[in-house]
Structure 1
């Protein structure tokens, strides 16, 4: 199915809205305790469970409006559902916090496999939107692989050593901001590798 164009603002709301909703719900109920079927759950776990249907609804709307979901979006949704389920089943918030580490590690590992094969898997995903010579893609991929690995390590250190409040704030705002700034800096810094004519050779 061909991708349909929608308002960039609406697209951002659907992509980033669920995470912001999780943060707002958590802030509202973080000090509460809820009892279901004789088991008590913290506000964090309840917020994490509410986040799952919110994310799925947003993704369904995004697919309905655009006709397309990226593999990364599908993978992230699967991880949220899987670890959200583990969090509820074991009544242990650590599972939900580990999700971020695994997502970043997966991305670092996937890009790393491509690099070991002398390829940039990132190019396969973004080449249509960012025409660039192969040398530039390899540099970009190496740097992004390292960034994903560092974010995975940072998440592990933070959730294991800091409070839930600190982790939620960093997960909601700091990690996305760091990744956004990193990508922007890389795109600006790799301008010399961009191809003005996309039909020109990329080697």
Structure 2
């Protein structure tokens, strides 16, 4: 389902709160971002798995209507994203709001601490969280539920012996990892 169709779908059953939506061109495709007046709520691609579900969650949690225009949070995000792709920004400062389980939020907090240009295995992150490495699939599932691609750097988690998955495509993950490696040296 396309962005315009999704926005229309949630137009009818909305509250009075506005959530702004923009599209941002990038070297890895057009990024779609949503924010209210205080937080970045979504960073995704239109071809990401569960694209529509991400909007459904925001609509339910925020009781909002979506407006296609920038706001201050999205303008900050857009500036930071430009710097990221120029190799000049190593971590994002724009405030984010996440929707997920306590476990998912714990994984996302750990991801925010992964250094730019580095990778870590799903199993090692599970161990760092005080869980056995057998929880690596649960960590991977939390990455798949991450609605703030690039900003919460789930692309930095890899499987043992491979790059692992990425809900926006392995080619994008590979590009992001190579970009960060190149810009951190």
**Shorter-chain TM-score tier:** under 0.3
Q: Which has the higher strand share?
A: 2
- Larger Rg, first or second structure (1 or 2): 1
Larger relative contact order (C-alpha < 8 A, sep ≥ 6)? 2
Q: TM-score, normalised by structure 2?
A: 0.26
Which structure shows the higher helix fraction?
A: 1
Q: TM-score, with normalisation over the residues of structure 1?
A: 0.24
